[in-house]
Chains A and B, each alone.
Chain A
């Protein structure tokens, strides 16, 4: 079942179109990558989902129902531009934001306690936000985003501003939240950063959806049956079934990218190579999301 269904959503501002007839679905319980370069329309779409603004046309279904203001309680949103009340204490701020999401005071307090223990930031509760480092503030804001246990968590550029250690901490938390049944939307322009995390993605470019689906399916579709071979010997491919795209040789070690043609299998290539050279490594060249995106964008532009 999909937790969120976006149906031909269009949004225009005074002089430009932010979203043009965008449709896709987000399955429940997955980590969904909303990818695209800066200015593609990601944030506009997120603001429509979080009901900060409304779409000009199109429909959005949340858990099968038309999006309504009450649904906001079931969403957590971490905006790209982070911000908290600077002169408020960490504890009060978390309590306030949780209460605004409809949590009772006692419940919010209990959950805050749980989270500060997990992040080991209990000592910060009495501090003003402005006295914390930027990374610390981000942690607090992450807690504020997930405190009310939303079933849909929307993170806009979640790793910007985190050092590698804290980025990993957040990554683990995100995986744990998915385990518990939450759906996470990642919005980012740094596609490589979320590739290994995302189950599904949608690519947006210039206000249009370019591509969407499960990551492995997309990769399957876009893989080119190309393998990288590294080995010892003098490689000369003469078979019409294989095409050498690239070949280097250095100190008798060769490295070649070879594509399979005519429905041949990787094993056919291996068998062919073993007779001629000594093989050190044999890897399928899977296109990265970035490559796919660039290819796709080029295609659409040519059309």
Chain B
């Protein structure tokens, strides 16, 4: 036991002290921070007020257009040619030209601008014009806007799970995010660190240290020590990433005076609110519009936070850790066996293939089929079979999985891990002392039953 511990220590320390590890660990949160902060910075920079000059020859619209926080209208008079000259002398964004027309046939409205009009500006102007014209038409047909607003229905579905544990609110988006995030992390962890195990074994083999090592320790101890040591490296890295990301993002946000790193949900809510707000705006007054935005935004936010609060965090976190380690151990020992079977990294391809296939399939399935139907038969079987369960079950867990399925899946994962480790250990003990031989599957299968 103390020997395994020594091996774990060595594997851990040599990796953690490597420059590449330190650089990766420090750089990733910085990149993450950059990704989060940069767009916010850019948006805040481009958020200047747009001023649009309006030449309304029909006289129907110009006085109905409402100024908004970042979109102002300046009515003009005179001919189009004059208006163009006036516009050219200003710094204004665009010139909106409304020709002589009727409410029933609004055609020929044109935007003139020096630069290309952005899509955003165009859409906002179109929206504003539509509102004005619609209201005019309502008035013409005897309906006023207020009545219409009363008639309009705004439905939001609240989904509630009726399970044994009683009712609880559910929000598919939040649940999906929680599940897929866990699955993605597990997927990358298995790949990144599985390959590290393989490389480590190949390194020991090519540097010929392995014969010295296994005259001191059992091959199984050497393999397990490496697998556990590298797992510890991975956990360390993720932990550091979480802590550093938090520190960096908060720090940068504070420094740039941006609202403290908006969480994805907040961003989402804000986005929704903005979209809704734009829609509601129109003939209503600024305050009304603003309050509408606030109302919808807060409702959305409370929805989100309620959904987040309703996620079973201890369960999700527990499952994450279990499948994280279980999946890593299951695949890690196989990666180790591949490393032992080959002489150099270029020979690994043919053996990597059958290992990566179930991983990739479960990864793709997890955000397509499984998300769409977390309780369907495909999701069920994939979350039970050990080779796909670490990723697929992680997606399902936030949606709620019957206890027996979870227990079965976990038990099978443990069995699967024991099984792959048994296979890997048998390939490993033969492979690490085998040099210069071209290995194929037939050869490998013989190794399983060698007496060593």
Contact = CB atoms under 8 A, between A and B. Distances in A.
Contacts of A83: 207-212
Contacts of A120: none
A225 B218 CA distance: 52
Contact of B211 (A75, A81, A97): A81
B448 to A, nearest CB: 13
Interface string A65-93: 00001001001010101111111100000
Given A53-B452, A96-B10, A100-B3, A144 B215 contact: no
A117 to B, nearest CB: 23
Interface residues of B, number: 23
Contacts of B10: 96
B433 A52 contact: yes
Nearest to A77: B215
Given A83-B207, A87-B14, A88-B14, A97 B212 contact: yes
Interface string B201-221: 001100111111111111000
A101 B216 contact: yes
Contact of B451 (A54, A75, A100): A54
**Interface on chain A toward B: helix, strand, loop, or mixed SS?**
loop
Nearest to A56: B451
B207 A86 contact: yes
B228 to A, nearest CB: 16
B69 interface: no
A99 interface: yes
Interface in B229-268: none
A187 interface: no
Contact of B208 (A14, A51, A79, A99): A79
Contact of A144 (B203, B204, B210, B212): B212
B150 interface: no
A281 to B, nearest CB: 48
A86 B10 CA distance: 13
A50 interface: yes
Contact of A52 (B14, B209, B215, B446): B215
A84 B217 CA distance: 15
Contacts of A101: 216
Nearest to A101: B216
Contacts of B216: 72, 97, 100-101
A2 B452 CA distance: 26
Contacts of B203: 86
Contacts of B212: 77, 79, 83-84, 97, 141, 144
Contacts of B215: 50-52, 72, 75, 77, 79
B411 interface: no
A100 B6 contact: yes
Interface in B313-351: none
Interface in A39-58: 47, 50-54, 56
Interface of A: 14, 47, 50-54, 56, 69, 72, 75, 77, 79, 81-88, 96-97, 99-101, 141, 144
17 contacts: A47-B433, A52-B211, A75-B215, A77-B211, A79-B208, A79-B215, A83-B207, A83-B209, A83-B211, A84-B209, A85-B14, A85-B209, A88-B14, A99-B6, A100-B3, A141-B212, A144-B212
